[in-house]
Structure 1
Amino acid sequence: MRYHPHEILLQDARKMPELWRLAVGVVLVIVTWFALGLLSDLLVLPAVLALTGDADLFGGNDAAGMAVLLGNFLYAIIAVGLVLQMLHGRSLGSLVGPRDRVLRQWWQVVRILLVLVCVVVVLPPYDMGEPVVAQLTFGRWLLLLPLSLVLVLIQVSAEEILFRGYLQQGLAARFRSPLVWLLLPSLLFGMGHYMPQEAGDNAWLIVASATLYGMLMADLTARAGSLGPAIAVHFINNVWSLLVVASPSSLNGLALYLHPFAMDDVAALRPWLLVDLMVLLVTWLAARVAIRA
């Protein structure tokens, strides 16, 4: 496996590779993230509620609630940055990768994935067995789109910084085997998508799909030597699944359309999970081609 570029990200991580630092750091990231989110809730939520009258802060089923949920991921980025400085003596930039490399690879992957999205949209099938359901009017969706894109970028960047950045690099600095640093963060990432109330009997299939996704993004990051490609793939994926056609079960407040079935609909959803798996594999391969260009 061509993981030599991974060393670009591991140079600073290997200066303080102790596992206790990583373990304490994970706890501090979670605590700091929670504390900053709580402080934000105390300061920001009253203003949000005053402007909107109500906001679904748990399900994200309206625009205000979804914006707050996505915006809270900014505190995860801040938390990782603070922990890196305090425990590891390194910067957030060293975790993400060299700036020019990150931006170049991000754009290379975004560009090829936009072409891939257009191809998928043009090719059949043209519905999901039933027509998608309108969620926002096109005018309102378009008005919210610039902010929505920024919020999704914050959310996916936070997840990549935490899982393919802090956890992956922390483990790779200590263990050379990809089975450790590729698999363990991916399992945690997958479990973060365990939603039994929304997904019902599909919950563990979604966990398995998210775990595989994490492994592919870990592989892509190690091949790229930056988080740029993984952030790009995650961004395009979540723009589609959160802003274009979202689940009617939750996290749909900024979406233009909704799927015609809920996440716990076993008969309807499971065939589409297989389609999602195929799209994920093609997306991963396309991203690998992009960073080699």
Structure 2
Amino acid sequence: MPFLPHRSDRFEAFIAPARARPEIWRLLVGGLVAGAVWIAVTAGLVLGFGRSSATGALLTYLGGFAGLILGLGLAARLIRKQSLASLIGPGGIRPGPYLVGIAVVAALALPTAFALDAPARRMGLADWAAALPLAVPAIAIQTGAEEMLFRGYLTQGLAARFKSRAVWWLLPAALFGLMHWNPATFGENAWLVVVSAALTGMILADVTIRSGNLSLAMGLHFANNAIAILLVAPPSPLSGLTLFEAPIDPSDAGGFRPFLLADIGSTLVLYAIWLGFNGWRDRRAA
């Protein structure tokens, strides 16, 4: 099916560093190494800084993903004999696609975020601006780490070993969705949050597969999380730095569901635009 991602020359170049050592045991052991380093670094940050305040706890959580990047670097080098940069793709981080991803999500997600209910100011502008020099890099670290894990390390390792899209495209997206399972916060809507995250994971994987690089996916992911963490969001453990708070209770199944459905709708619109762009580019190339 032409609209589904396929193994193009760009994708083959992206997974090439993992081809020399495609054994599944390497993928699993490397994942354990990365997870252990991530936990150790996060625990150290929590002991040192995480109990100071709600804002400090949030920044500690986000900054802890630096441990995941470090762990992935060790796993890639020691287990698969490839560099950390190779998880991003040929050319490393590309500023152009990264900024395009930010602009696209901002154009689509911001109107949705402010349209459902009038959000109330949660923080003073001066306090919010003072937190940005730490919060923005922390979000970039968190989203970059997740992309390097799910769309980099896992996708490369699985695609180097298996031919099926269900393995190298859908499986990492499903795992990404399950990572967002949180019935304590979202109640009956926890499954819908997982669906939304898995759909986002599929799109970010599609973007990576077609471009052969993580930069565009990183930009999309960064903008999505920056809006939810820094600008407007319903109350949650991750809303400690939002400038505006949406008057929606995430545990209220009926009240929160329209917010989730609108988010899924805007995600599908974004995906349709992406597929249309690729179709236009392929026709032009032909």
State TM-score, norm by structure 2. 0.88
Matched residue, 1:64: 56
Distance 1:252 1:113 in 2: 19
Superposition RMSD on alpha carbons, in Å?
Answer: 2.3
Following TM superposition, by how much is the alpha carbon of 1:197 offset from its aligned partner in structure 2, in angstroms?
Answer: 0.6
Answer whether contact 1:112 1:287 (CA < 8 A) is retained.
no
CA distance in 1 between partners of 2:81 and 2:115 (Å)? 51
Structure 1 residue 180, shift from structure 2 partner? 0.7
1:19 has 2:11 as partner: no
Mapping for residues 37-186 of structure 1, pairs under 5 Å: 37-42=42-47, 44-45=48-49, 54-55=52-53, 62-99=54-91, 102-117=94-109, 120=111, 127-129=115-117, 131-186=118-173
For residues 274 and 102 of structure 2, the distance between their equivalents in structure 1, rounded to whole angstroms, comes to 8
In 2, the alpha carbon distance for the partners of 1:137 and 1:25 equals: 44
The alignment-based identity, stated in percent, is 36
Of 215, 221, 224, which aligns to 1:237? Answer: 224
Q: Which structure 2 residue ranges, 5 or more long, are not aligned?
A: none
C-alpha distance in structure 2 between counterparts of 1:22 and 1:190, whole Å: 20
Alpha-carbon contact 2:119-2:244 (below 8 Å) kept: yes
Deviation at 1:142, TM superposition (A): 1.6
**Offset, 1:251:** 0.8
Secondary structure, in 3 states, of the residue corresponding to 1:99?
coil
Matched AA of 1:89: K
Q: Corresponding residue for 1:58?
A: none
Asked if structure 2 preserves the Cα contact closer than 8 Å seen for 1:220 and 1:284, the reply is no
Q: Check conservation: 2:72, 2:84, Cα contact below 8 A.
A: yes
Q: Post-superposition, which runs of at least 4 consecutive aligned residues in structure 1 deviate over 6 A? A: none
Give the structure 1 partner of residue 175 of structure 2. 188
The one-letter amino acid of 1:24's match is: V
Residues 140-188 of structure 1 deviation map (CA, whole Å, 9 limit, x = unaligned): 1122123211111111001111111111111011011111111111111
| Secondary structure class of the residue paired with 1:264 | coil
Unaligned 5+ runs, structure 1? 56-61
Question: Separation in 1 of the partners of 2:194 and 2:119?
Answer: 24
Q: Is the 8 A contact 2:46 2:57 kept in 1?
A: no
User: Which of 12, 23, 32 is residue 7 of structure 1 equivalent to?
Assistant: 12
What's the offset of the Cα at 1:208?
1.1
Tell me how far 1:100 sits from its aligned partner: 6.0
Tell me how many residue pairs correspond in the alignment. Answer: 275
Residue 128 of structure 1, CA deviation: 2.5
Distance 1:155 1:101 in 2: 15
Establish whether residue 198 from structure 1 lines up as the match of residue 198 from structure 2: no
Q: Which moved more, 1:152-161 or 1:273-282?
A: 273-282
Distance 1:255 1:287 in 2: 29
Give how far 1:24 is off. Answer: 1.0
Match of 1:99, as an amino acid? G
Distance 1:126 1:191 in 2: 27
**Residue 151 to residue 126, structure 1, CA distance change in 2 (3 Å):** closer
Q: Deviations over 1:60-117 (max 9, x none)?
A: xx32111111111111011000110000110011110123663332123333444445
Pick closer, same or farther for the CA change 1:197–1:100 going to 2, 3 Å. Answer: closer
Cα deviation 1:116-156 (Å, max 9, x = unaligned): 456x37xxx96424x32322111211221232111111110
